[in-house]
Structure 1
Amino acid sequence: MTTSSSTLGIKTVLHPVSDLAEAKAVYAALLGVAPQTDTPYYVGFEAGGQHIGLVPSGAPQAPSTSLAYWHVPDIEAKLAELTAAGATVGQPAQDVGGGRLVATVTDLDGNVLGLIQDR
């Protein structure tokens, strides 16, 4: 294992939504905060040390279902470790802006796991 479990954590969860404006109102009421990021293609909230993101369904970056992202210090090393253990890469690491890298893998049971590496 290349990464200690103490350095890993789920801090980001993305939700696909059919109507971004309606979903934004629901999540603002749930979380008790206004969105920190509010664009036509992404709405993001920071609450309780978590990042909750809303992505319009059908958008290229939208997950097909809610997706939790594990924050890792070295995404390429973690991808290699996971594929060696039997997972398959769904989305290779890509920069989504500001040096943040994201990727997904699928485990042996078909569960999709998200990975994030911040710069």
Structure 2
Amino acid sequence: MTTPAGLPTAVQRALAAIDEQDNDAFVAAFAPDGFVDDWGRQFRGPDRIRSWSENELIGKRATFSDTRVSTPGNPLTIVTQVGGDGFNGPSHFTFEVRDDLIASMTITA
């Protein structure tokens, strides 16, 4: 995946972790109280984010392609084509960053 320019460092780290299939690095990109909101299902804190990723993202060998920023700023939204052994299709990922860590990542259509 080619990472779009101008992304916050925390988001760059999370996307690189997905690209490298590194769940530890993915979880480390989040604040201790950070969360993933996957179509309304929330997973808060490192243990729940790790479990979610093992079952829904990195554990499903997810790939992102054709990634672009659709809404710059904080929160920032990217649009990407998700591939892998789980969900496949276009998705929006909205990231809120706080203190160089991801406070939230919300996934929608």
Give TM-score scaled by structure 2 length.
Answer: 0.28
Question: Which protein is richer in helix relative to its size?
Answer: 2
| Higher RCO by CA contacts (8 Å cutoff, separation 6 or greater) | 2
Larger Rg: 1
